[in-house]
């Protein structure tokens, strides 16, 4: 992973570019597409990923995941989040956490985001387009963001970030290939943001704030939240934690 590098100066979104290359049969496992500028970077839930005026890592890896059953897709997600977390951790002494499902946070500030897009065939995850955005220097326009520079006082080169990231991805992807899902789940849970702490949450469908405690994730990656001693299972996008 990360051996083949495609560099582009400007593109709408490296994920879109990867999808295009993939449809033309031009992507091999582990290739990473790196853009200096994205004009329409995309985030989760249809949001955008802004890069105005900031030095960022904006890249997309292609992983050929046809050995992976769709039921185990969450472990791919966990391995990527763990790798990005480890890479960020290597630049700072501060505690770096994974905010479920796959945002990378330091305290209440976001430093990196992940957008994974997969295509499925016969119950298998054929391939994964793994977009990763990391703030290297401060992003002005986003309120709750931080950057490597703010954390470490240094502003690493994009290729330094790429090297560290590819190394971490190789390490954690190995557990996906070995189907060591227990290890991935356990490790992911150990870095889960605000785990075992009382926090304020709200359900997207029923936005009334309540106090709950994140206890972990289940076998398919859903979040387990304890409320008044009872565990509720939440699917991706069912919860809002913006107030923390
Ligand atoms: C999120 O936090 O919601 C996910 C952000 C993912 C951003 C990266 S930047 C590289 C890749 N290309 C995109 O258009 N998005 C991802």
Q: Report CA(218)–ligand 1 centroid distance (Å).
A: 25
The pLDDT score that the predictor gives to residue 244 is 58
Question: Using CA positions, which residue lies closest to atom 2 of ligand 1?
Answer: 113
What pLDDT score was predicted for residue 82? 98
Task: Specify the pLDDT at position 168.
Answer: 98
First to last CA, the chain: 35
The pLDDT assigned to 242 comes to: 67
Cα-to-centroid distance, 53 and ligand 1 (Å):
16
| pLDDT for residue 223 | 98
Alpha helices per DSSP H over the chain: 14-23, 73-89, 148-152, 158-177, 181-190
Ligand 1 atom with minimal separation from the 13 CA: 14
Q: Cα(54) to centroid of ligand 1, in Å?
A: 14
**Which atom of ligand 1 lies closest to the CA of 56?**
9
C-alpha to C-alpha distance for 130 and 214, rounded to whole angstroms: 26
Delimit the CATH 3.30.930.10 region(s) of the chain.
5-190
Domain 5-190 has CATH 3.30.930.10: yes
**Contact between 199 and 241 (Cβ < 8 Å):** yes
Could you identify the atom of ligand 1 that is nearest to the CA of residue 15?
12
153 Cα–ligand 1 center, Å: 24
3-state SS of 131-188? EEEEECCCCCCCCCECCHHHHHCCCCCHHHHHHHHHHHHHHHHHHHHCCCHHHHHHHH
CB 74 within 8 A of CB 81: no
pLDDT on residue 237 = 85
Residues with CB under 6 A from ligand 1: 13-15, 38, 41-44, 47, 49, 58-60, 103, 113-115, 131-133
152/154 Cα distance (integer angstroms)? 5
Asked if 93 and 239 count as a contact pair (C-beta separation under 8 A), the reply is no
Which residues belong to CATH 2.30.30 in the chain?
A: 198-240
Alpha carbon of 233 to ligand 1 centroid (Å) = 26
Q: What string of pLDDT tens digits covers the 244 residues of the chain?
A: 999 999 999 999 999 999 999 999 999 999 999 999 999 999 998 899 987 777 999 999 999 999 999 999 999 999 999 999 999 999 999 999 999 999 999 999 999 999 999 999 999 999 999 999 999 999 876 678 999 999 999 999 999 999 999 999 999 999 999 999 999 999 999 999 999 999 999 999 998 999 999 999 999 999 999 999 999 999 988 998 765 5
Interval between CA 192 and ligand 1 midpoint (Å): 20
Residue nearest to atom 16 of ligand 1 (CA): 131
Q: With CA atoms as reference, report the closest residue to 81 among 205, 172, 194.
A: 172
**Whole-number pLDDT of residue 164:** 98
The pLDDT of residue 228 is: 94
> How many other CB atoms are found less than 10 A from the CB of residue 238?
15
Look up the CATH number of domain 198-240: 2.30.30
d(CA 204, CA 238): 5
Enumerate residues 6+ apart whose C-beta is below 8 A from 98.
81, 82, 85, 104, 105, 188, 191, 192, 193
Determine if the peptide bond prior to 185 is cis (ω within 30°): no
């Amino acid at each position: 992973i990360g051996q083949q590098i495609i560099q582009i100066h400007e593109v709408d979104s490296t994920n879109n570019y990867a999808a295009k290359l993939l449809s033309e049969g031009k992507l091999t496992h582990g290739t990473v597409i790196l853009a200096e500028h994205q004009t329409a970077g995309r985030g989760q839930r249809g949001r955008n990923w802004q890069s105005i005026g900031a030095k960022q890592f904006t890249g997309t890896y292609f992983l050929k995941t046809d050995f992976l059953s769709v039921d185990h897709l969450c472990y791919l997600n966990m391995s990527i989040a763990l790798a990005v977390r480890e890479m960020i951790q290597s630049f700072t002494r501060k505690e770096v956490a994974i905010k479920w499902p796959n945002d990378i946070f330091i305290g209440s500030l976001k430093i990196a985001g992940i957008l994974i897009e997969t295509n499925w065939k016969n119950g298998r995850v054929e391939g994964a387009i793994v977009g990763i955005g990391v703030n290297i220097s401060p992003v002005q326009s986003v309120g709750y963001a931080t950057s490597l520079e703010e954390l470490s006082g240094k502003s690493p080169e994009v290729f330094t970030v790429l090297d560290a990231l590819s190394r971490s991805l190789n390490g954690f992807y190995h557990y996906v290939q070995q189907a060591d899902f227990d290890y991935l789940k356990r490790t992911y849970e150990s870095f889960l943001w605000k785990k075992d702490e009382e926090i304020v949450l709200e359900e997207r469908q029923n936005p009334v704030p309540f106090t709950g405690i994140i206890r972990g994730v289940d076998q398919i990656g859903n979040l387990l939240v304890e409320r008044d001693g009872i565990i509720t299972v939440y699917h991706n996008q069912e919860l809002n934690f913006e107030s923390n």
